[in-house]
Amino acid sequence: MTDHVQGEGVPPGADLRGWLDHLAGTDRLSVTRTGLGLRHEVAAVANRLDGTSASLFPHPDGHPGSVVSGLLSQRSWMAEALGVDEGSLVRTFEEACLSPVPWAEVADAPVQEVVHDDVDLEQILPIPTHNEHDSGSYITAGLLISRQRSTGAQNVSIHRLQVSGPDRLGALLLPRHTLRFFEERENDDEDLDIAVVVGVDPLTLMSSQAIVPLGQDELEISGALRGAPLRVTRCLTNDVRVPADAEIVIEGRLVANRREPEGPFGEFPQYYGERAERHVIEVDRVTHRRDPVFHTIVGGGLEHLLLGGIPREASFLSHLRRSFPCVRDVHLSLGGVSRYHLYVQVDSPQPGEAKNVILGALATHYDIKHVTVVDTDVDLHDPREVEWAVATRFQADSDLVVVEGSQGSKLDPSTQAGVGAKLGFDATVPVGSPDMKFLRIRVPGEAEVDLDAVVDRSTGDWRNSVATR
């Protein structure tokens, strides 16, 4: 047993194998029989169990390794992993982003227990194929860690990685930090050293999705969330530092001046990302723990939606609060694939301010497409409540904001190559409305009544109860 002993105050999500123990101990880990199929069968079972339990697949297709999915497929599980209640989840994450804790380097790393110099990815690792029209097997929960040569700064992000050959991956790089580091190297016709880390603890997994400035190493957010430096180790073939207690590390390079076909691949909006010429990773070495556990995220599942959604909520909340003191909370709804639909809760906005909030929210990220602003008497984590506010507090001729031809998500098939419209609903009560007009009905005592004290569960016959004695 090489796992960390969890000390006092260490959140349950600080260690992957410990988190699996935690899930198993609370009946939230389904272990399948040995040898299920990597092609579609793993994803089929993971999807059926999505949100109910994580799923562990011992030795799929007789492979030496095993697969796990659905580690964080409820909002409440994420809070649990962080050791906080659900209401504090977003704020806890945002505070960690603002107070990073530098990692600590160690020489003796469990992730380097087994070393493969001769790389055949599908021989070494159990890599599933998920959706019907996916081009093949994909690494979907790999943290791509890159290092800027000039500054030594690291960046962490998750990219879909197609297995294109025994030692080759195809990568989709969106225009963010990894791409910036790569273009700096490619300008000099040089490759960018990277590592792809699979099977990390839940805190590091969440940290990888933080929206923080270029140059801030997302691994330091994991340190803040665990209240102690994350243990990292140097890769064997390059200078990238990787989580020492991870399950698997794929060391390699993003190759300069080379592009190859990648896709199609089933993405978070529940559609396929198209096949196109994309970046290429050459793999130099693979290291892993003994009996490695390969984490896979099935596209469009709750784990996929929430992993992107919660860190975005944290970033959008702090961004909006800087401009609008009336903003209390934000939520990216699951129906809006945790990316496109943002609900914003405001407290007593000034006349017209809800519309400014809409404009500000639409500008925080190109993925945000529809914004709904509600008052504090609306539970913005309940889509039915938000719809109620739109149904009863919104008029299309005065409360609607539409912006044409702006940058949206390329994965939204209703856009023209990523360009589309934005929309905002101001579903707040108009300032100066008469007191009773928008007052929500309420039965006094409803929330407080003790049902066990008032309901007589011993009586078997309602007729006896109503009979005159």
CB 260 within 8 A of CB 275: no
Q: Minimal distance in Å, beta carbon 159 to Mn ion?
A: 12
Ranges assigned E (strand) in 224-322: 231-234, 241-243, 248-262, 265-266, 272-273, 276-288, 293-295
Ranges assigned E (strand) in 289-363: 293-295, 327-332, 341-346
Q: Minimal distance in Å, beta carbon 414 to Mn ion?
A: 29
**By C-beta, is 206 or 354 nearer to Mn ion?**
206
Label the pairing between strands 66-69 and 265-266.
unpaired
Q: Minimal distance in Å, beta carbon 174 to Mn ion?
A: 12
**By C-beta, is 73 or 155 nearer to Mn ion?**
155
Q: Between the CA of residue 355 and those of 247, 332, 379, 439, what are the distances in Å?
A: 47, 18, 20, 22
Q: How many CB atoms lie within 10 A of CB 246?
A: 29
Helices (H), 194-325: 202-207, 219-226, 302-323
Secondary structure (DSSP) of 104-168: EE-SS-GGGSEEESS--HHHHS---B-STT-SS-EE-SEEEEEE-TTT--EEEEE--EEEEETTE
Q: Minimal distance in Å, beta carbon 310 to Mn ion?
A: 16
**By C-beta, is 28 or 177 nearer to Mn ion?**
177
Q: Minimal distance in Å, beta carbon 384 to Mn ion?
A: 36
**By C-beta, is 195 or 371 nearer to Mn ion?**
195
Read off the amino acid at residue 134. Answer: D
Contact residues toward Mn ion (CB under 5 A) are 155, 177
Q: Minimal distance in Å, beta carbon 177 to Mn ion?
A: 4
**By C-beta, is 207 or 296 nearer to Mn ion?**
207
Residue nearest to Mn ion (CB): 177
**By C-beta, is 102 or 405 nearer to Mn ion?**
102
Q: Minimal distance in Å, beta carbon 214 to Mn ion?
A: 6
- Backbone phi, then psi, for 433, in 5-degree steps? -65, 150
Q: Minimal distance in Å, beta carbon 221 to Mn ion?
A: 10
**By C-beta, is 38 or 195 nearer to Mn ion?**
195
Q: Minimal distance in Å, beta carbon 145 to Mn ion?
A: 10
| Whole-number Å distance between alpha carbons of 437 and 421 | 33
178 contact partners, CB below 8 Å, separation of at least 6:
144, 146, 155, 157, 159, 194, 254
Helix, strand and coil content of the chain, in percent to the nearest 5, comes to 30, 25, 45
**By C-beta, is 195 or 357 nearer to Mn ion?**
195
| Whole-number Å distance between alpha carbons of 332 and 369 | 11
Joined together, the tokens standing for residue 259 give 């592009």
**By C-beta, is 46 or 310 nearer to Mn ion?**
310
31 contact partners, CB below 8 Å, separation of at least 6:
24, 55, 56, 58
**By C-beta, is 155 or 296 nearer to Mn ion?**
155
| Whole-number Å distance between alpha carbons of 461 and 337 | 48
Q: Minimal distance in Å, beta carbon 368 to Mn ion?
A: 19
